[in-house]
Structure 1
Amino acid sequence: MTAPILEMRNISKTFGPIKALKDVSLTVMRAELHALMGENGAGKSTLMKILSGAYKADPGGHVTIEGKPQAEAAGAVAVIYQELSLAPNLTVAENMFLGREIATKGVVDRATTRKRAQPILDRLGVRFSARTRVEDLSLGERQMVEIARALTTDARLIVMDEPTTSLSARETERLFDVIAKLKADGIAIIYISHRMEEVYALADRCSVLRDGVFIGTLDRAELSAQRLVQMMVGRDLNSFYKKQHVASADHSGTPLLSVRDMAGGPVRGCSFDLYRGEVLGIAGLVGSGRTELARLIYGADPRTSGNVMLDGQAVDTSAPRASLDAGIAYLTEDRAKLGLFLDMSILENVNIGVIQQDAKQAGLLDFRAAAKRAGDAIKALSVKAPSARMPAGGLSGGNQQKVLIARLLETGPKVVILDEPTRGVDVGAKSEIYKLIDQLARKGVGVIMISSELPEIIGVADRVLVMREGHIAGEVADPISQEAIMELSTGTAPQTKGATQ
């Protein structure tokens, strides 16, 4: 890393009265992975859009790539966005050269396209060929196609925006291997992620933005959760997990929720109890059956066996509507595809689960009641939006999650199942979601929280059920430790007491 590949100096960007970036400077060296962190709305995406040329910086800013002005460095920078922009019906090779097709006498030359594409794929070590259709690839493999497309432009700097959000653990490891190869070839990477463990594992340096302002850069040896959180949100890490609810250690009374012999798909024979005002964590490796168990309880997937009791009474949870009517709400892990209606407003999303409450005579709706409900939710959950009429798709990930949570809470549930509630949201939004979970428990709501982040589970939950290969391997409580959870997750510890088998 002898010379910078990128220098951005005094970059500002104004949108009307809003100052999105204020005199930001960023230097990236050759062959380094430079993490860029900050809360949603900190200015990361705006800065990268200026780098890619999608936005023009305010006068006074300068961008040089490999020592040349930005306008003279076409093709040197490639951006891989969180939402992949591939054409599923086309082959890998066709996607790699999409928009830059290789033609002979005005006709696309598919043979030459494949011939040019295959060596790049071989360089990345992928297991599919240039002929493979993208629709037949996994998400992780599609991510590799995006990287391969970047290499067709001879990019020397690649921006990766939340690249592991939808990847399995194995696909993430594969991506990390490819990143190491890219660095060895002298390619620099700007890596945007909310996952601190990835930053610790990969970053040579890390820069932080907050409210459009450059806060500072840390070398690898300086990286720590404490320092990063302080820089990103301006407050101490210890403020993250402050439990104010007190879960009773006496489980001799009637459980709020009882699940017995739940089975379906990969899940088999799962039984457990949840008590009023308790936060029950569910942990386990990817593929252990955590989400599948939640969907069976809620009635989103067909079950082969199992029943649910609420306050000691059998309830119908054979379908989501029946579960909601019984008092059980479920927050999906995929808010974009299975949760929110992105083209609908915040107001419509918040109210869609209770729309029948606003019905008047002749089938008319009470829009004033709906507007008040949405306005109250925006205020209570600190949703950052100009108005309730804003489309949900225009919100940041953290604010989208808050809107989805607001919709669930309007149904007045007794039990809330939260599946990866902080996935893809920044540390500030995470802290607010943790506080909300604590508030629900203090009101006597039973909370089940599924999470892949062990520090999160340990900080928020009162007890943790650990799943392995579709069944509950055991329970960890008092104290909850990462070691105990991982032993049960991997099968290196004997089954422990706690879950009702």
Structure 2
Amino acid sequence: MTNVSQVTRDQAHEGLVVRGVSKRFGATQALDQIDLGVRPGEVVALLGENGAGKSTIGNIIAGTFPSDTGHMTWQGRPYEPKSPGDAITHGIGLIHQETRLLPDLSIAENVFLGRLLTRAGRIDRTEMNRRAEEQLHRLGLDISPTRLVGTLRVAAQQQVEIAKALTLNAKLLILDEPTAALGGDETDHLFERIDALRKEGVSFIYVSHRLEEIARICDRIVVMRDGQRVATHATAQVPVSQLVEEMVGRSVERLFPDPGVPTEREVLRVEGLSNPSFRDVSFSVRAGEVFGIAGIVGAGRTEVVRAIAGVDPVTEGKVSVDGRVLRLRGPRDAIEAGVALVPEDRKGQGAVLDLSIGDNVVLPSLGRVARQGWLTPQRVTEVATDAIKTMTVKGRAAQPVRTLSGGNQQKVVIAKWLERKPKVIILDEPTRGIDVGARAAIYEVIADLARSGMAVVVVSSDLDEVLGLSHRVLVLSRGRQQGILPAEEATNSAVMHLATA
């Protein structure tokens, strides 16, 4: 562990300096005497598990709420933002992990929301569209700025958030999991833009659970745990194993557990599956197998599994479970056949955030868990308590899902589908936005499901995750199947060669 170097007077005059900042929410000490410095043109990584205090310090800097103690200076002057708008006026912006866009407005309208461009007293949509399109192209997103945000996938929405921030001409950007929904090419485009901006003197506080990114883009690292700064590194070239140990306070010896050996019994078969987003996809998954699906964003990964789960229509091909061809008229048909989908957007599609853990767990299985046609609160609590124990959820049956960390929310979403005893479970981006400790727990769940004999399909934009978990990997490129690789042949280079074909 290295010691924090004191920021010099010249550095303090130019950049952001945070000293002795603390914050308490009720009985929870979210931050305890945090010091942080960011120089012009510097990218500082802020690492820690969910609940470590990263978002709290980001929100204080961005003016969402004030600190209880401590002080900040920005460009050599006292800095006490009263609101996010005040922070933006000072040149400081925060890009949240969860998109905060209005789905019924266009991309350009979202980018310039609250600061619409005008000409001769009227909204200048032509200029708004032009400038929004310019930022989208810089991020490698080739879509019309007039398109409604609600029609975009999660990855594209995240890029719109980034494009919005880039139009602010900010001097310090706080990026909270900016690549969580991005694939390799999109991440590279973002990093190129960050490099260009840092050369102009723009600073970044970079929050990410993808530790392999840190060495690529960051200059220094600050590690937090339980609201305290526990380590600072003057370089980003730090072994991942060391960072993980500092973040969780213990050694995580093996991130990807052994899922066991699959049987020869085929559970899921997909033959010649096609729709407008992909064509002629064929594969099978055996009992006890973890089958990975890889490809860059836009390859059709999510579209394929949504079609298998009956969410999106199929124009050609067929899906079979245990040898029986399914008639997929909607999600209910797939569910009744034993196919469960854990969607990529757990907050928008996976969980009902304002309902309790118990209500979420029993929601897809009301007929199964009810006794003699009656579902009592006691029965809900009973079922939820068992699920909480099995999935090691940190929460109580009556606790609203909204109050849980991302990792625990994901466990609840998985638990609610396991209550139906599925034959096939499909997990789309199972660890998006989840910290290292919680990610390791989700990996254990996936391995346990495979060892229990379930057929498991995993879709992820994190290639290391797909390779670390899977027995075999299907690679998609632009909606076309490029090949299926066994684990021993599925290297990063082999997969990317197919994914970019």
TM-score by length of 2: 0.84
Cα distance change of structure 1 residues 52 and 236 upon mapping to structure 2, 3 Å threshold: same
- Aligned position for 2:482: 473
- Aligned position for 1:311: 322
Paired residue for 1:3, among 5, 11, 24?
A: 11
Read off the aligned partner of 2:340 and give its amino acid letter: A
TM-score by length of 1: 0.84
Is 1:50 matched with 2:60? yes
Is contact 1:331-1:405 (8 Å) kept? Answer: yes
| CA distance, structure 2, for counterparts of residue 196 and residue 457 of structure 1 | 16
C-alpha deviation, 1:243, in angstroms: 0.7
Is 1:176 matched with 2:186? no
Is 1:332 matched with 2:337? no
| CA distance, structure 2, for counterparts of residue 423 and residue 359 of structure 1 | 33
C-alpha deviation, 1:431, in angstroms: 0.3
Is contact 2:294-2:461 (8 Å) kept? Answer: yes
| CA distance, structure 2, for counterparts of residue 132 and residue 459 of structure 1 | 38
| CA distance, structure 2, for counterparts of residue 96 and residue 305 of structure 1 | 41
Is 1:31 matched with 2:41? yes
1:214-250 Cα shifts (integer Å, max 9, x gaps): 12122335333222212212344532112152335xx
Is 1:276 matched with 2:287? yes
C-alpha deviation, 1:184, in angstroms: 1.8
Read off the aligned partner of 1:374 and give its amino acid letter: A
- Aligned position for 2:439: 430
| CA distance, structure 1, for counterparts of residue 249 and residue 137 of structure 2 | 42
- Aligned position for 2:473: 464
Partner-residue secondary structure (3-state), 2:222: strand
| CA distance, structure 2, for counterparts of residue 425 and residue 91 of structure 1 | 27
Cα distance change of structure 1 residues 7 and 134 upon mapping to structure 2, 3 Å threshold: farther
Partner-residue secondary structure (3-state), 2:375: coil
Paired residue for 1:448, among 448, 457, 467?
A: 457
Count residues in correspondence.
Answer: 475
Partner-residue secondary structure (3-state), 1:337: helix
| CA distance, structure 2, for counterparts of residue 459 and residue 71 of structure 1 | 45
Gaps of 5+ in 1: 492-501
Is 1:390 matched with 2:399? yes
Partner-residue secondary structure (3-state), 2:441: helix
Partner-residue secondary structure (3-state), 2:253: helix
Read off the aligned partner of 2:50 and give its amino acid letter: N
Cα distance change of structure 1 residues 109 and 220 upon mapping to structure 2, 3 Å threshold: farther
RMSD: 3.4
C-alpha deviation, 1:422, in angstroms: 1.0
| CA distance, structure 1, for counterparts of residue 148 and residue 268 of structure 2 | 41
1:429-452 Cα shifts (integer Å, max 9, x gaps): 110011001111111111111122
Read off the aligned partner of 1:304 and give its amino acid letter: T
Cα distance change of structure 1 residues 466 and 117 upon mapping to structure 2, 3 Å threshold: closer
Paired residue for 1:143, among 161, 178, 192?
A: 161
Is 1:14 matched with 2:29? no
- Aligned position for 2:266: 255
| CA distance, structure 2, for counterparts of residue 294 and residue 478 of structure 1 | 21
Is 1:412 matched with 2:430? no
Which structure has the bigger radius of gyration? Answer: 1
Paired residue for 1:65, among 61, 66, 74?
A: 74
| CA distance, structure 2, for counterparts of residue 91 and residue 468 of structure 1 | 26
C-alpha deviation, 1:182, in angstroms: 2.3
Is contact 2:99-2:158 (8 Å) kept? Answer: no
C-alpha deviation, 1:26, in angstroms: 1.3
- Aligned position for 1:483: 493
Partner-residue secondary structure (3-state), 1:19: strand
1:263-305 Cα shifts (integer Å, max 9, x gaps): 2223322222211111111222222222222122222221122
1:43-76 Cα shifts (integer Å, max 9, x gaps): 11111122233333233x2322223222389633
C-alpha deviation, 1:190, in angstroms: 0.8
| CA distance, structure 1, for counterparts of residue 272 and residue 137 of structure 2 | 44
- Aligned position for 2:304: 293
